Chain A
Amino acid sequence: MSTDTTTAEAPPLTPIIKTAEDGSHYLAGCKCGACGKLFVGERKICAACCARDQMKPVRLAETGKLYAWSIVHRSFPGVKTPFIDVVVDLADGAHLKGTLEGVVPDNSALAYDMPVKIAWREAAPVNAGGKTYLTYVFVPA
């Protein structure tokens, strides 16, 4: 079960999800001041150029294009299938994995580079005893 409304209580499902002081959510990234690489999540050292103490926090873009996908029919116990597992190239150059909602899980409904955007959800993951977490999904833009 997932819902479009978010509450202050639901913890983030992944550490890259942040909540600003005004209650809005964003995805944390960082950019290397030495080589310019953009990373999903926070880090101190650049994995690409090895520079130390050059990382600056950024908010990741919330729109992007579909790079690759798979329709997952068999997953771990308790996970509802089918769902669409996607790799998205974000507009700022970052690359993010996620689930695509709002599209029929059929290859004919999917196309390379189709525009997508981030939406926020509260959902109960498997093995969480029904507790809900704040997560992101991709939806058609």
Chain B
Amino acid sequence: MSTPRNIVRLPKPATSAYNPNRPLAANALIRAQVRHFAEAERHLPPEFRTHIDPHKIETEGEASIYIRKVTEAIHATGGRPRKVQVP
């Protein structure tokens, strides 16, 4: 499909790049994402809740576990449209 002439070599990250223990305090985006997932979890049926306290999440790795559980629960509920209460 491609000629050797038009192949561009990909970079390789350092092995030290991976750090799931990075403090959540260092990333405002994931902090906000956790907050939003906590809001979404409030609207899940009780049997689908994670029983994880989002306030106790301290690292990126812990956040990813929580986000994964809520995402899977949202899909497991079958995508039934549900009314969100206006706070």
Q: Do A and B come from one complex?
A: no
* Residues in A lying within 8 Å of B, measured CB to CB: none
* Residues in B lying within 8 Å of A, measured CB to CB: none
